[in-house]
Amino acid sequence: MTLLFLALPFVGALVLFLLGKKARFAQVFNLVLQLAWLALMFFVHGQSREIAGNGGFPLVYSWKWLPQLKSSLSLGIDGLNLPLLWLTVILSLCLGLYAYGKDKLDGSYLGLFSVLNGATVGSLLAADALAFYIFWEFMLIPMYFLIGKWGSKNRVYAALKFFAMTMGGSLLMLLAIVALAFRPDVSDLGWHSLTQLALPWDGQWNSWQGLLFVGFFAAFAVKIPVWPLHTWLPDAHTEAPTGGSVILAGVLLKLGVYGLLRWCLPIVPQASMAAAPLMFALGVAGILLGSFAAWQQTDIKRLIAYSSVAHLGFMVLGVFSGNVEAMQGAVFQNIAHGLSTGAMFLIFGMIYDRTHSRELDAYGGFAKDHAWIATLFLVAVFASVGMPGLPGFVGEFLVLVGTFAVAPWTAVLASLGVLLGAVYMLTLVRKMMFGPTSSLVASHPVRLGWNEWAAILPLIALMLYLGFGAQTLLGLSETDLRELAVKLR
């Protein structure tokens, strides 16, 4: 069942490519495909309910596809990837709904998305380092085209920058994996054997642990992105089409955090913890400089993109704090940020489809005639600002509390992000939603179709639920993170 779940997007993509320019057919087919995928997700969840959440990353499928490279296509499910699988499936269904009826978003666009989805869940499920790497790299290709072909004015520059930087990071990870494969004591590249390695660590960075850490971290750091490797993100976010921005913020960045927790920390635990002070510095730099940059932006998508840099800074802190509370915070923030930022990009994308302007100063008084859209946007904004009762708070709170235990001053500096978040986000709301109605807003009324409402509402509903129902997710990943925390001690 899990294999089918993984294969379906790839198979569906082939059909979508064939449908090509027949946009309407492709969109309908895509919706059916997404619904079928969602149904499969329920099955996968049901099947794994017994095993996920007990730790140990249980395998659900394994096939020795490349014995020569000590690699097999093995898939596992646990509390770390299950929530992200859900997030991917839900976001892509929402994007399928959003795409419906938009002539430009034809079969090739939807097909690329489907490939992206397949690669995403592939890298989430992979329990083998090489398989992980392949899916990981495969995410690049469709994203590159999505930005390069369907993006806005400066798309080629953004696509290339995204591609080159991510690729650069990934190559180092490939080196790390290949190096591991050549070690005689590595019988296979499966997650279970790699995490049992217990490589020696003597504090030297040119040791195995040190170099492997650099390799893995490089790939994940670019993806997250960790400051100062973040400059591809504002460009990619801004130039990408709406769907691209949503999936980028909602899922792709999340894989960086996931990768750290899944691969980097368990394989090279001591090196990772030794790097923690540097990571704290980078995390705080991301929070503060990302927030300051967001405050300066006049392009709405760029502003939201920089807010991601700040939020992901929190997650870096959470991951490298190495205690259960903080790592839970990072894992939870992963989902929370995916929902809130995804929703913000989605809603703004719908507005942009009508107004064709990203200039913040061109907007004003949007809330007057669009009470519902404004309300939903505000829910996402306050989730992002860390309002208790919405999920962003749970993530930030756990990260801060957990980080304080190991690095008090880091946590104190990071808490400034809570204030700065309010500054730039409320500036956005004030200029865009409130005040006198601008001519741009007055001349471009935004009337959403049923499919667009249907795309936004699940995200909002999930946010409202998770704010108080945080335990649903925290309970899932608790055991896995406890095991990891023991390893890191």
Partner 1 sequence: MDLPLEPLLRWIILLPVIGAILNGVFLRSKNGILSGLLGTAAAVGAFIVTLVVIGRVPDSHGTVLALDPWFTWMKTGDLEVAFQLEVTPLTRVMLLVVTGIGSLIHLYATGYMSHDKSPWRFFAYLNLFLAAMLSLILSSNLVGVFLGWEGVGLCSYLLIGFWFEKDENAAAGMKAFVTNRVGDLGFVLALMVIFAYTRTFEMSKLVEIAQAGQIPAWVWLTAAAGIFWASTGKSAQIPLYVWLPDAMAGPTPVSALIHAATMVTSGVFLITRVWPIFAGQPAVLDVVLWGGLATAWIAALTALTQRDIKKVLAYSTVSQLGFMFVALGCGSPAAALFHVVTHACFKALLFLGAGSVIHGMHEKQDLFEMGGLRHHMKWTHLTFLAGVLAIIGFPLTSGFFSKDMIIAKAMIRGAVPGMLLIGAALVTSFYMVRAYTLAFWGEARSKEAAHAHESSPIMLAPLVVLAVLSIFVGWFETPEVFHGPTKFSNWVLQSWYGVSPAGHEGHLSHAMEWILMGVVSALSLGVAWYSFTKYRVFRHGGSKATALHRVSENKFYVDEIYAFLILRPLKFATGKVTKFVDVYVINGFLHALRDGARISGQVLSLFHTGSVQVYGWYLAVGTVLVLLFVRWWAV
Q: How many CB atoms lie within 10 A of CB 50?
A: 9
Q: How far is the CB of 202 from partner 1 (least distance, A)?
A: 30
Taking a C-beta distance cutoff of 8 angstroms, is the pair 205, 245 a contact? no
Q: From the CB of 163, what's the least distance to partner 1, in Å?
A: 8
Rounded distance between C-alpha atoms, residue 226 and residue 215, angstroms: 15
Give rounded-to-5 percent helix, strand, coil for the chain: 75, 5, 20
- What SS3 class is residue 73? strand
CB-nearer residue toward partner 1: 248 or 400? 400
Nearer to partner 1, 80 or 429 (CB): 429
User: Shortest Cβ distance from residue 332 to partner 1 (Å)?
Assistant: 9
Q: CA angle, 76 as apex, 54 and 85 as ends, to 5°?
A: 90
Q: How far is the CB of 52 from partner 1 (least distance, A)?
A: 17
Non-local CB neighbours of 116 within 8 Å, separated by 6+ positions: 139, 142, 143, 146, 247
Q: How far is the CB of 294 from partner 1 (least distance, A)?
A: 9
Closest CB 58 distance from partner 1, rounded Å: 21
Looking at the Cβ atoms of 396 and 452, the one nearer to partner 1 is 396
Query: Which CB, 356 or 430, lies closer to partner 1?
Result: 430
- Give 28 or 69: the residue with its C-beta nearer to partner 1: 69
Torsion (CA) 190, 89, 5, 123 in degrees, nearest 10: -20
For the bound state, the minimum distance from the C-beta of residue 371 to partner 1, rounded and expressed in Å, comes to 8
Task: Please say which residue, 148 or 338, places its beta carbon nearer to partner 1.
Answer: 148
Instruction: Find the angle CA(452)-CA(456)-CA(461) to the nearest 5 degrees.
Output: 145
CA distances from 254 to 71, 87, 116, 330 (A): 25, 10, 14, 10
Cα distance between residue 435 and residue 90, in whole Å: 34
Measured from the CB atom, is 136 or 213 closer to partner 1?
136
